[in-house]
Structure 1
Amino acid sequence: MPAPRLIQPYGALVLFTPKPDGSLRMCIDYRALNKQTIKNKYPIPQIDDLLDQFRGATVFSKIDLQSGYWQIRMADDSVYKTAFRTRYGSYEYLVMPFGLTNAPATFQAEMNHILCPLLDECVVVYLDDILVYSHEMQQHVEHLRRVFEILRRERFYVKLSKSDFALEKVQFLGHIVSAQGVHVDPKKIEAVRTWKTPENVKELQQFLGFADYYNRFKNTPYNWEPRHQEAVEQLKQALTSAPVLILPDPERDYVIEADASDQAVGAVLMHDQENGLQPIAYLSKKLHGAELNYPIHDKEAFAIIIAFKTLRCYLEGRKTTVYTDHCSLKYLKTQPSLSRRQVRWIDFLETHFHYNIVYKPGHKNKADALSRPAHVAAIQVEGMNPLLKGLFTHGYTIDPEIPLAEKRHLLQWDNDIAYRKGSTKILVPNYPPLRQLLLEEYHDVLYAGHFGSNKTLTGIAKHYYWPRMADDIQKFVTSCTTCQRMKSSKQKKAGLLQPLPVPEQPWQVVSLDFITGLPTTICGHDAILVVIDKFSKMGHFIPTHTTARTEGTAQLFVRYIISQDGIPTTLISDRDPKFTSKFWKELMPLLGTKLAI
């Protein structure tokens, strides 16, 4: 509804983002309001307690409410706090919007209240997920009837498209529930179970990093044998079995380590035990489509979002610490300028979770390997020309920036070739013969086609990187004699040269220019304004400053030229910014002087 107040103390920002079905989702940034809100400590159900209720059940129905939060009305004295600003004025929510920090606890309390007679008998409720369970079908029909009677009486509406009825097996809170019992969702450990067989030392080190074994393989020649394959399969089994993947403890806080690379995101859910952080579940996701074009800041944030969405049943209503190796994400909650995508993500986090983001350097982050499996790399170092590889090796030894980058953990190595951290692009050292060879390989050879700077940059950037690479490619292409000789110019053709008219009297036509680069005098001058009369060749040499503004130059011209020799009819100059400025172009016509640039 429109806000009726003349003075509105609250006013959150609002954005619309597209949903997968083409409709729009309204996202409101309630971060400032949430900071001032006293947290509702109403308990969110413990997952273990809910799962214990299914013993002996054989039939299940999962009910999802239609925009559940919107079915609860706001308190009259809190409506004005939900105000959000639009170009048409301020509006307020009469129902509970998404984004409020106490919305999950309020909704859970309401569900527990209305369904209290059926709790622990045939119904479990986790926020807007209602699961009805029964021992046999006839009993299940009666249980559903009782649930629907309560929902109808309390005027809560069900979304049929997201509800499932009379199932023998159902996915609920990250588990598979059936008559046989409760099983862990296989997707939680799929990231480790389907890990690709290592093909080199680097991939082997990444895989063994979870078991802290990789140090013993340092400087060991790579020789893959059947016994190694057997060891990898045993490690896969160990990493996904009970001794390493501990069970979640609802009494403990959760810890997430999330990370992203160019092609994938990954995360680890853990508990802080007495003997350190212990993993509960691993997850990773390869990026597709538009996700690959996200800036690195958004990719790192996307890793956190994927973790919270996948592990939502554990984290909702619990205190969670998120470790990331992207320092700027520490300020995600207070960042003033957000894109629509970021607003949508923050709205999701602020509505459902109590979290804190902490910076942790990448070399200490367990999720690093999940987001950076080398089998997605575009370059196979084993196929590199030996001569080219030798140039790389020599270049790394003489480039003074390489040790500094290693010290800051910005590099990762594979077969003596350096990559940018989290990327599959080879880092080219500051070694001119090597960079010259790459430029010639991508521009000069017959199959390269002498492309322009943009296409040459695109080709090189697929596999290589070095600082100021675009500038080096631009200089190389513009200096290519073949391109200059064979390619037609795309610039507008210059007009015919026209002689300047011969003046009929002194100081009718004058020319101006600056002499710069001079040593500074005791008066602070470091430039000379030169004014020459085209008729008599008489000149004025006026001391000035390189940093002088257009207005200052105009004052010098009036003081030394116009006051002594009169106003010229034509003024000749180059395209110095002082002579092409709006002030200069407007001043000269007022004096009746024509500008000839």
Structure 2
Amino acid sequence: MPFGLTNAPASFQNLFNDIFHDILDINVVVHLDDIMVFFKSEEEHVTHVSTVLSRLRANNLFDMASKCLFHVSSVEYLSYVVSSEGLKMVQAKVQQILNWPPPRNFKALQSFIGFDNFYHRFIKNYSKKISSLTSFLMKYSRFPLNEEALRQFHQLKEPITIAPILSHFDPSLPTIVETDALDYALGAVLSQSFDSGKNPIEFDSHKLLPAVLNYEIHDKELLGIVWALKCWRAFLLSLPSSFEVLTNHSSLQYFMSSKIL
């Protein structure tokens, strides 16, 4: 397919979706020309890698051997390191964030936040940690960054270096949604109980709109639960049984039975 056509990526993706339609997202993940085949046993892996290669050949598509990896326990895929343990950040990307100089203008700040946002799912309360920086993206903001924004810029690098491995979601395991409402942001974590303990699946956060900032804390906490359930709706609907919601506002357990005055 020639380069430069507007619909080339979508057409190319549709082609691969058709070729692997029956095993897509079951044993094979495809993003444009990046194909990942995964299985629990080596025997299955050999069989299905052969299936993938055979289907490519049948459609006159060929892999370059120098760009292929076989029989590996972890692989870098779409800027994540994927293994049987879960997802973690690519070390080269982490180092790039750590070496990033303080932004001196709008474009530099926009580049840093855009790059950092990609890994927001690894950082608890990310919106809170970046709130002073995002305020400089507003119209008429003046540079250089003030003291609070510079402090957040340097402090944001710490959770990047200690970010946890995000476990793969398993519908058969007990699932917990934890939420928290801060003064100007919502935070949540989706986790599951493994044999080794409770592991995070994903973190998320959301900066509150000006109209919501004046809500009572009870309403903010309830909004945090509703927002988190919407975020992870696809995961939660796949569960065969109920899940647990944890909040630090104990009065919310009565919201279904409280009387309207």
Shorter-chain TM-score: which interval? Answer: 0.3 to 0.5
Q: TM-score of the superposition, structure 1-length normalised?
A: 0.20
Whose relative contact order is higher, 1 or 2, with alpha carbons under 8 Å and at least 6 apart? 2
Q: TM-score of the superposition, structure 2-length normalised?
A: 0.43
Bigger radius of gyration: 1
